Structure 1
Amino acid sequence: MTFANVGTIGAHPGKRDEIVAILTRLNPELMNAGCLLYEVGTNDDAPDTVFVMELWESADAHQASLQLTSVKDAIAEASPLLSGDMGGHQFTVAGSPLTNPPN
C-alpha cells in the first residue's frame, strides 16, 4: 500500500535555502527505491522551515531508502543546518480522486 510522509524540517536562521538545495538535487536512486513523489517547498510565513511531501510504494521502501548512500550523504550534509524542530505525519494512502477509477 502506498505510504505518505508529510513533514516539516526546521532550519537554523538563514539556512533554509541551503537545505532546499540539498533536498532537491536530482537523485535517480529514489525512484529505483520505490519513491513515487518527493516534493520540497517553502513558505515565506515560515522562513526557517522546509516542507516535504513524500509518497512511497510502501513504508518498507521508505525505510529502506534511508540506507541509500545518496540519502545518507544528503542527511549528513544537511544535519549542521537543521535546528532540530521536526514535525509531520505518516499514513497509508486510502485513495485519490485523481487516480481511482469512477464507480
Structure 2
Amino acid sequence: MTITRRTAATTLVALAALPLATRAQTGKHKKEASPMYGLIGKMRAHPGQRDALIAILLEGTAAMPGCLSYGIAKDKLDADALWITETWVDQDSHKASLSLPAVQAAIAKGRPLIAGFGERFETEPVGGHATMSKKSA
C-alpha cells in the first residue's frame, strides 16, 4: 500500500478528531454539569467614595463558597466608577452568596456610598485563570 500526502493528511485529521468524538460519546452518558456563571458589572460611588466602597467590597467578599474569582477594578476614565468581575462554579453558588452574613453586612455598609449602577453582563466562563494577588485597591 502506497501512502500519499492526501492519505497521510486524511489520517492525521481523523486522529486529531478522535479525542473530540470520544469525549462527545462518553459525555452523552454522564450527567450534564451546570455551566460556570460569570458576572461583570459597573458600579458608581458617590464622588470621592470609590476607594472606601472598594475596601468594603473586598472585606465582605473574602470567603464565598463556589466563588472562583472576584475582582474589583477602578475605571480609568471615571474617578467614581468601578468594575466587578465574578466567576462562580454555577449560578446557584452566586445566588447563595447573597445571603451570607459577611456579604449582607458589606451590602448594608456599602449601600450609602453607591450612587448607582451601570452596565451588567452575565457570562458563561469557559476557562482561563485568575490571579488576584493584591487584597487592597
Gaps of 5+ in 1: none
Q: Which has the higher contact order (CA 8 A, sep 6+)?
A: 1
Name whichever structure is richer in strand by fraction: 1
Please report the TM-score for the alignment, with normalisation by the length of structure 2. Answer: 0.64
The secondary structure found in structure 2 opposite 1:51 is strand
Cα distance in 2 for partners of 1:85, 1:91 equals 18
Larger-Rg structure: 2
Per residue, is there more helix in 1 or in 2?
Answer: 2
Shift in CA distance, 36/16, structure 1 to aligned 2, threshold 3 Å: same
Partner of 2:88: 56
Alignment root-mean-square deviation, CA: 1.7
TM-score, normalising length: structure 1: 0.83
- Identify which of 51, 57, 72 aligns with 1:23: 57
Identity score, percent: 32
Q: Following TM superposition, where does structure 1 have runs of at least 4 consecutive aligned residues deviating by more than 6 angstroms? A: none
Amino acid in the other structure paired with 2:100: L
Q: Which 5+ residue runs of structure 2 have no aligned equivalent?
A: 1-34, 130-137
Pairs aligned (count): 95
**Distance between the aligned counterparts of 2:62 and 2:116, measured in 1?**
27
